[in-house]
Amino acid sequence: MADLARVSDLVATPASKGAPRHLAIVRIAHWITTLCFFGLLLSGVEVLISHPRFYWGEDGNVRMKPLFTIPIPASRATVPTGYGYVLPDQNGWSRSLHFEAAWAVVLTGLGYVLAGLLSGHFRKNLIPASADLSGGVLSKSIADHVRFRRPREPEASSYNVLQRFAYLAVVFVLFPLTVWTGLAMSPAIVSVMPSVSILLGGQQSARTIHFFCTILLVLFVVVHIGMVWLYGFGNRMRAMITGHAAEQPTVTQQE
């Protein structure tokens, strides 16, 4: 019974006055995902440097015309980039780190989604209410974001409609697509389930889509950090670490 109670504390939405602003499962998933994201970004850049050319379809090599090229030197002399030198090849450790961080963030994401569904977190805190979709509320939300207006309390204690859509898009569209395209680039996965790659148009198509998913995720993180700073960096960090924001014991829990 004690074990069940501890699990309930992680996934149940708190209702008491001193309830944490962020559930334990949300805080744990947030920081594991943060570490994994930067590991994936660093290792992904190293992998990209080995061949900074992108193609569409199943095949892609130096003898084919690329769909587009990232204008940076490569870490392999056989890859034509227009530069007279090559960068140090770090492809070994970067691929290993990318693989390990990817599975860590996938398992963390699955746990977060499962807990969010069990606790009603998505329904209560992320899915916009019908009133939020009215013209006036939506227009005001867009205008506030364009002006980067610092919100007043209790405005800052809950997500506006644009934030809700952004989080839902990342959790249920962008993140799954990134995972899918990553699996579609794996020879081991494709050998067992070729449809994973075929549905995307081929392994090189998956690599190209994966690259653009990464760009969108980076943009999301940049905007996310900017909004955290705008809304009060110290208070937001405290809430995501301890679960409680200063002098806000009655605020409804959010992600």
What local confidence, expressed as pLDDT, does residue 178 receive?
A: 97
> Is residue 2 included in any domain, yes or no?
no
CA angle 132-251-2, nearest 5°? 115
DSSP state of 17: T
CATH of the domain at 156: 1.20.950.20
Helix-strand-coil split of the chain, %, nearest 5: 65, 0, 35
Cis peptide bond N-terminal to 128, omega within 30: no
What local confidence, expressed as pLDDT, does residue 147 receive?
A: 52
* Separation CA 43–CA 74 (nearest Å): 15
SS3 54: strand
The tens digit of pLDDT for each residue in 75-130 reads 999 999 999 899 999 889 999 999 999 999 999 999 999 988 888 888 887 887 76
* Separation CA 49–CA 89 (nearest Å): 8
- Predicted TM-score (pTM) of the model is 0.80
* Separation CA 119–CA 23 (nearest Å): 10
Q: Domain containing 31: what range?
A: 20-242
The tens digit of pLDDT for each residue in 32-86 reads 999 999 999 999 999 999 999 999 999 999 999 999 999 999 999 999 999 989 9
> Is residue 82 included in any domain, yes or no?
yes
> Is residue 167 included in any domain, yes or no?
yes
Indicate the burial class of 131 (C-beta count within 10 angstroms; 0-12, 13-18, 19 or more): exposed
Give the rounded percent of residues in the chain with a pLDDT score beyond 70: 75
> Is residue 255 included in any domain, yes or no?
no
* Separation CA 38–CA 95 (nearest Å): 14
Tokens of 89: 């090849």
> Is residue 44 included in any domain, yes or no?
yes
Q: How many domains does the chain fold into?
A: 1
- CB-CB contact of 77 with 106 (8 Å): no
* Residue indicated by tokens 């977060």: 112
Q: Is the pLDDT of residue 241 over 80?
A: yes
> Is residue 141 included in any domain, yes or no?
yes
Whole-angstrom CA distances from 119 to 78, 110, 160, 215 are 53, 14, 20, 31
- CB-CB contact of 80 with 93 (8 Å): no
Please give the residue that has the higher pLDDT: either 171 or 11: 171
Give the rounded percent of residues in the chain with a pLDDT score beyond 90: 53
> Is residue 234 included in any domain, yes or no?
yes
The tens digit of pLDDT for each residue in 136-187 reads 555 555 555 555 555 555 555 567 778 888 889 999 999 999 999 999 999 9
The tens digit of pLDDT for each residue in 186-228 reads 999 999 999 999 999 999 999 999 999 999 999 999 998 988 8
Helices in 51-186 by DSSP H: which ranges?
A: 91-119, 121, 135-147, 161-169, 175-184
